[in-house]
Amino acid sequence: MLTSSEIKKQMAEGNIKIENLSSNALSKPNSCDLRIGNVLYVFDYEIVDTKNCNKYLQEVLTDNINKLKRIQIPESGLVLEPHKVYLAKTVEKIYTKGYIPVMHGKTMFSLLGISIELTNGYKTDNFDNYLLLSIIATKPTIIYPDIKIANLSFFPSLKPSDKIRKIKAEKTCGLYQSGMLSGAEIQKRMQEKNPDIIITPQDNIVINPNSVNLTLNDTIAVYTDPVLDLKKDNATEKIQIEEDGIWVYPDEIYLGRTNEWTETNSVIPMMSGRSSLGRNGLHVHCSAGMGSLGYKGYWHMGIRPVKPIRLVKDMKCCQIYYLTAEGEQETKYNGYMQNIPKEQLSSPLYLSLTKKQK
């Protein structure tokens, strides 16, 4: 994944272009902030026909409305309704040559139960357009215009390498300088004299072939306000997970964190759910698993069950993996998620939005 310094370098060379970029959009170590303007699009009926998917997306891109309903977001805010899919396009227009743009949601939105997804996953090399995204709220939530809603990162579009390394006597593969760390490499970096990766405590972690399983802390929380507001410190109630576990239910966002504190220096941490939990309909984050160079803290999760399910104390709830960074590492993460106290489980998004107002 490119560092912000490398993104700026490639922008200067014309390989990456980002139109309508906000002034401080590249202040993070390895990503760029993306915004939505003041327009959302929503299906104006209950049943969505997948045969019309491309038509829906073209309506968002061209603003030529036929099947969708266009909604203006006022300065006073708009309430997102649960069980509705809102479509939007970014203010920024992206062009790449030799690089693949990838969008992730933000953890601070995930902790409010808001899922933000690129409508068709990873983009491709030579991409030239706005990014289309979907927004889904777990609870009624007030959203505002022109907010920074997602993170954009870039990966090199690797070509077949002319360098060959042997795997076994009868097998070879290309040799690239970047990629995802193996479990053995993660363990090695944890055991160095000055470790590049710190995970503590290590009592219950499991090192997989290319990731590390982390465990769920026994205190979770729920929001008590009937309508959430991105600009407010929404009230929460904490719940203790007892020895026999606790039932969680659909249409609620549960706030949790890992038992383990992690730190990274020169690699980029990423978090994802576990497939075993996904197959049981448990989402441990709402499209916001991207980390940053220099992140220090617990991993906070907006947990959403599709059906009633029992959470168990110290269960293996998520996995983290690590990507190498391409380019100079001039900036380390120092955002609102850095060093959050273990007692805080709610989203700190309001801090950044109220700061913007002042």
Structural domains in the chain, sorted by start:
4-156 (2.70.40.10), 178-357 (2.70.40.10)
Average pLDDT, the chain: 86
Percent of the chain with pLDDT over 90: 47
Q: What is the separation of C-alpha 81 from the centre of its chain, rounded to a whole number of angstroms?
A: 21
Query: Which tokens in the block code for residue 189?
Result: 């970096």
Band (pLDDT 50/70/90 cuts) for residue 321 is very high
Q: What is the pLDDT of residues 259-301, one digit of tens each?
A: 999 999 889 999 887 777 777 778 887 667 788 898 999 999 8
Q: What is the pLDDT of residues 139-180, one digit of tens each?
A: 999 999 999 999 999 998 877 665 666 656 665 555 556 688
Q: With 90 as the cut, is the pLDDT of residue 51 above it?
A: no
Band (pLDDT 50/70/90 cuts) for residue 356 is low
Q: With 80 as the cut, is the pLDDT of residue 45 above it?
A: no
pLDDT at 164: 60
Closest CA to 154 of 348, 316, 338, 1: 1
pTM of the model: 0.86
Query: Which tokens in the block code for residue 162?
Result: 């002319």
pLDDT at 171: 58
Band (pLDDT 50/70/90 cuts) for residue 358 is very low
Q: What is the pLDDT of residues 4-23, one digit of tens each?
A: 999 999 999 999 999 999 88
Percent of the chain with pLDDT over 70: 90
Q: What is the separation of C-alpha 327 from the centre of its chain, rounded to a whole number of angstroms?
A: 22
Closest CA to 257 of 205, 285, 220, 292: 220
Q: With 70 as the cut, is the pLDDT of residue 24 above it?
A: yes
